[in-house]
Amino acid sequence: MNPRESPADTWFSLRSFLILASVFVCGDAFSKPSRRDNGPGTCKTDPSSAEWPSDDEWAKLNETTGGQLLKAVAPGSVCHPEQPDYNPDQCATVTTGWTTYDFHQNDPISNMWEQYNNDTCLPDPNTPCSPDGYPAYVVNATSADIVKLGIDFARTHNIRVVIKSTGHDYQGRSQAPGALSIWVRHLQSIEAHTGFQPQGCDFMIDGPAVTVGGGSQLIDIYRELDKINQTVVGGNGASVSVGGYVTGGGHSILAPRYGLAADQVLEVEVVTPSGDIVVANECQNQDLFWATRGGGGSTFGVMTSVTMTTHPSPQVVGLAIGLLASDLNAPYVWDMVAYLLSQFPYLDSKGVSGYSYLTGNFTYPGAPFSGAGMGAAFVIQDTQNTDDMVSIWAPILDHVNKTWPDVTQTFIPQAYPSFYAWFEENYDKLSAGSDIWVGSHLLSADALTSNQTAVAEAFKIFDGTAYLVAGEGVKNAKPRGGSNAVNPSWRNTLVHTTTAVVFSPLNHTAKEEALVQVNAITEPLRQLDPGMGAYVNENNPGEPDWQHSFWGENYERLLQIKRTIDPDDVLWCNPCVGNDRWKENGYQLCRVDSTEG
């Protein structure tokens, strides 16, 4: 959550309250979709099914949760004159907020990427609006007990269930049409420890730790821990919450020093698909503990709290750097990019980490430079001396200047008293509210240094990011219990790369073509470093052999755990462990034949 409250924040807090207060007074905001013919037990129950719970049953759930059930209302409906909640003033607020992370994280059902709601109600009166692409109801889960009530209701009535925190989700796992959504946004708490004894263990883990609610956002954790000169391994997005981040593995600008976020986890509290509230650590529920640390979100249960190791908040020297050609068609650009990437192992050895953008047309909100080449934000730790950063980069800049003298060099180092101080100025400021597919691939140091010509050709097609967020800290991490479900490829990774393709809404052909395109431009990096895999939290449903691309040799064990802990597939998402027994058929989720158990 961005600490600076906006009018949109106020409106959506009010909007959620009004929906909550009026759900059983006003009834459905939209008419239900036309009924489909369902064979008994073949599809999840949806609002068109004869088996859909009655209003009385929903009212009972609302009562047992203490009034925490919301009837989902598509946020863009206020812009459509034919909808009962049409309001031009509120439409203006929605339209303004639609491209911001804050808007979507504060709405009970909205997702930051439109295609996962099937573009069914955009804030544009000239487009169609229906609730079909959104969950039907939301449980505003403020405790593990309320999460349990929602899971139990969904399981009993065979309703598809999804888990949403902020909606910062490139895989669409937090969205599903006609589903019951468990909204954990308000599961926020922070408790610091000087030492931690996992439940059921007869030993104390020395050193500082923190227990946070499953909906807690990393920015809030950073802010609170900064008061005691501590921090956690976390990402660079202000709208990222801890549950989905940790379950995916969690890369970080601090990971080259300490390991991935999943490597820091000491204990989790989880509501399982069977409705049990359990604690998992190295002494009990060990399989669940292993799986929730990297096995993917919305799959093995709902993480209601997590305890992680904290670390002293380092002093930081940050660097905004641009090595860019003003001529976007300069023939040497990708040779220069390949050279810069070949220097990443050297930068890693000097304690440099950060986020670089390697593109034929660099622009970024607030960046003081643009052009073709590299724009980046890097840090070094445990220093306030900007000359330390200058000396590290001096040989690289000298080589660039001699080899490509037409390149404009922008080099802006700045000292920060803590990691949080750096984060406040440098967190992700990109926009949301579009239709977008993301691709990613993990790269080893060898791939970046062995053949610069191949690197140049691959990145010329890829045209994306190269995050220096792995290295020795990830390779040598010692997760509790000896291991976790993180893709083993991370242990040999130096750089995590991403790219994206934006496409027009309400255009099925464009949607399919963009998915093909994002995988086509990622393919050269797969060829550059085959077998390394991709990062599950920043990817797309079309990733080839995603089971092993996301989890490598860990997939088979994850599948066994999934079948044991969730034999009836109460939790389902795509692409997620064990999802092959079901398939989306329009707005329904239906059972398919499978050779797996």
Q: What is the mean pLDDT of the chain?
A: 93
Please report which confidence band the pLDDT of residue 19 belongs to, taking 50, 70 and 90 as the band edges.
very low
Q: How many CA atoms lie within 13 A of 458 on its CB side?
A: 25
> What pLDDT shows up at residue 41?
54
* Spatial separation of the C-alpha atoms in residues 134 and 180, rounded to whole Å: 10
> What pLDDT shows up at residue 597?
47
Structure tokens at 321: 């750097």
pLDDT digits (tens, 9 = 90+) for 501-514: 999 999 999 999 99
Average pLDDT over residues 197-213: 98
Q: Residue 288 pLDDT > 90, yes or no?
A: yes
Closest CA to 571 of 288, 239, 246: 288
Identify whether the C-beta of residue 222 lies closer than 8 Å to the C-beta of residue 232.
yes
Q: Amino acid letter at 260?
A: L
pLDDT digits (tens, 9 = 90+) for 69-100: 999 999 999 999 999 999 999 999 999 999 99
pLDDT digits (tens, 9 = 90+) for 310-353: 999 999 999 999 999 999 999 999 999 999 999 999 999 999 99
Average pLDDT over residues 238-246: 96
Structure tokens at 107: 């709405």
* Spatial separation of the C-alpha atoms in residues 576 and 582, rounded to whole Å: 11
| Alpha helices in 218-358, H assignment, sequence order | 218-226, 242-248, 255-258, 286-292, 333-342, 344-349
Q: Residue 4 pLDDT > 70, yes or no?
A: no
Average pLDDT over residues 525-552: 97
Looking up tokens 């050297």 gives 346
Please report which confidence band the pLDDT of residue 36 belongs to, taking 50, 70 and 90 as the band edges.
very low
Full set of structural domains in the chain with CATH: 7-29+41-183 (3.30.43.10), 316-546 (3.40.462.20)
Average pLDDT over residues 12-23: 39
> What pLDDT shows up at residue 103?
96
> What pLDDT shows up at residue 407?
98
Q: Residue 592 pLDDT > 70, yes or no?
A: yes
pTM to 2 decimals? 0.92
The torsion angles phi and psi of 230, rounded to 5 degrees, stand at -125, 165
pLDDT digits (tens, 9 = 90+) for 247-280: 999 999 999 999 999 999 999 999 999 999 999 9
Identify whether the C-beta of residue 164 lies closer than 8 Å to the C-beta of residue 175.
yes
Q: Residue 26 pLDDT > 90, yes or no?
A: no
Q: Residue 206 pLDDT > 80, yes or no?
A: yes
% pLDDT > 90, the chain: 91
Please report which confidence band the pLDDT of residue 459 belongs to, taking 50, 70 and 90 as the band edges.
very high
Please report which confidence band the pLDDT of residue 594 belongs to, taking 50, 70 and 90 as the band edges.
low
Please report which confidence band the pLDDT of residue 221 belongs to, taking 50, 70 and 90 as the band edges.
very high
> What pLDDT shows up at residue 18?
38
For helices 144-156 and 55-64, angle between their N-to-C axes, nearest 10 degrees: 160
State how far the alpha carbon of 250 is from the alpha carbons of 409, 488, 538, in Å: 32, 14, 10
For residue 186, the 8-state DSSP code is T
Least confident of 35-49, 67-81, 234-248, 281-295: 35-49
Looking up tokens 């609730």 gives 131
Identify whether the C-beta of residue 418 lies closer than 8 Å to the C-beta of residue 315.
yes
* Spatial separation of the C-alpha atoms in residues 477 and 97, rounded to whole Å: 40
Q: Residue 565 pLDDT > 60, yes or no?
A: yes
* Spatial separation of the C-alpha atoms in residues 406 and 399, rounded to whole Å: 13
